[in-house]
Structure 1
């Protein structure tokens, strides 16, 4: 798969917003980002990076500021907490300390967002597979998914190092589609970051922006050109499931 890609052409003349409109009511599977979409993991992520600060004699950083970077992993959290970029010499040590802290306390306060358990139950009742596509590393993704109680019901779990590319490249989403055996054109991808929407569109999937998540980008979710934007997880079901 080439490194450079262009999103496939899509007719957006008809506004999305109802189950009948989104993929013409022909959604067969739903894929989700993990942090900030399925699960509210920010408290544990911020605690991990703040421990790096306090271990170095610094006061904890403000939660509300750091929370916005929770979907951006070590790069975003360390950048916000220390003003250090991945190319800086100090970054590797800070990253390793952060990851060690996080791995040691992976799911202390992390929880599924309100409305997600009911949504996943409804998808299962309809026989619609769902899966996870995250940029989180496998060594963190699989234990967290298990601790959140999702390991037995997810049709696939794709991590940031599962394929040679991570989002916004479409490779992880295309791999997930192959794993669940459903064409991308019948799949909806839900995420709380601009790169999620970029990856979904590039893969030829319909996209839903989870505005209830961390959304730590300069652009507001309504500007991401997703096919739909939801303010709470409970609003996803009407978009992806046609009336029974």
Structure 2
């Protein structure tokens, strides 16, 4: 393997706390029962629509009123995008080791580019990330393999030589459809309806912690280099 690509929310970066803060504030503003943090967390990978639906279950997602609430949610998030957000614990050493061995790492996400770029900037990752592919960049998003092909092309690496790490079935499907090596991040925001049988996702590998992910990535990437250089 010659490159590592990550999904963003719930895989590389732990963004749930900021989403939870905003959704719970919206509940208080509406005067309804505050949605539990765990119920919000499992919807993060489903996107803004699913999270806002927790506050406004009575509205159709295509209702202009609902869309206005969704836009307000995105605006609030964009204004304070990294208050309680950081990389998952253990991810900094993993990225540092990849960079030490000049292995490019990047992101393929369904998060809009304006939010993705703002998040990377807030966490000082912009210059470190070799490639960022967002829905704005493609005609079809994950689980279609188009974003994966674009990411591999931009880092000049064959798709078969890329690892893709994600916490949603569409991540694994996109990686598999592009013939990448797929890793299911079981520590992430697993969708409630898909978390009982992780083997059904058909990922090449399942990891339960970032530490496990680091070990698997090291075993897949470092052997292509000088084994004596693997010091971490």
| Aligned 1:4-83 pairs, distance under 5 A | 27-83=1-57
User: Which moves more between the two structures, 217-226 or 169-178?
Assistant: 217-226
Tell me the distance in 2 between the aligned counterparts of 1:157 and 1:234. Answer: 24
Cα deviation for residue 55 of structure 1 reads 2.1
Query: Does the 8 Å contact 1:193/1:215 carry over to 2?
Result: yes
Query: Does the 8 Å contact 2:26/2:55 carry over to 1?
Result: no
Counterpart residue number, 2:230: none
Q: Over residues 140-186 of structure 1, what are the superposed CA-to-partner deviations in whole Å (9 max), with x where a residue is unaligned?
A: 00010111121111101111222122111111111100100001000
Cα deviation for residue 209 of structure 1 reads 0.3
Cα deviation for residue 199 of structure 1 reads 0.7
- Whether 1:226 and 2:206 are equivalent positions in the alignment is no
TM-score of the two chains, using structure 1 as the length reference: 0.85
- Please give the secondary structure, in 2, of the residue aligned with 1:218: helix
- Please give the secondary structure, in 1, of the residue aligned with 2:10: coil
- Whether 1:235 and 2:212 are equivalent positions in the alignment is yes
Query: Does the 8 Å contact 1:52/1:97 carry over to 2?
Result: no
Query: Does the 8 Å contact 2:78/2:118 carry over to 1?
Result: no
Cα deviation for residue 48 of structure 1 reads 1.8
Higher relative contact order structure (alpha carbons within 8 Å, sequence separation ≥ 6):
1
Cα deviation for residue 137 of structure 1 reads 0.5
Counterpart residue number, 1:200: 175
Counterpart residue number, 2:142: 167
Following TM superposition, the consecutive aligned residue runs of length 4 or more in structure 1 with deviations greater than 3 angstroms are 87-90
TM-score of the two chains, using structure 2 as the length reference: 0.89
1:217–1:178 Cα change, 3 Å: farther
- Matched pairs, number: 218
Counterpart residue number, 1:121: 96
- Whether 1:109 and 2:84 are equivalent positions in the alignment is yes
Q: Over residues 98-139 of structure 1, what are the superposed CA-to-partner deviations in whole Å (9 max), with x where a residue is unaligned?
A: 111111211000011011001001111121100011111011
- Please give the secondary structure, in 2, of the residue aligned with 1:212: coil
Q: Which runs of 5+ in 1 are unaligned?
A: 1-26
- Whether 1:132 and 2:107 are equivalent positions in the alignment is yes
Tell me the distance in 2 between the aligned counterparts of 1:201 and 1:213. Answer: 19
Tell me the distance in 2 between the aligned counterparts of 1:215 and 1:71. Answer: 7
- Please give the secondary structure, in 1, of the residue aligned with 2:107: strand
Tell me the distance in 1 between the aligned counterparts of 2:20 and 2:125. Answer: 23
Query: Does the 8 Å contact 2:56/2:66 carry over to 1?
Result: no
Cα deviation for residue 239 of structure 1 reads 2.0
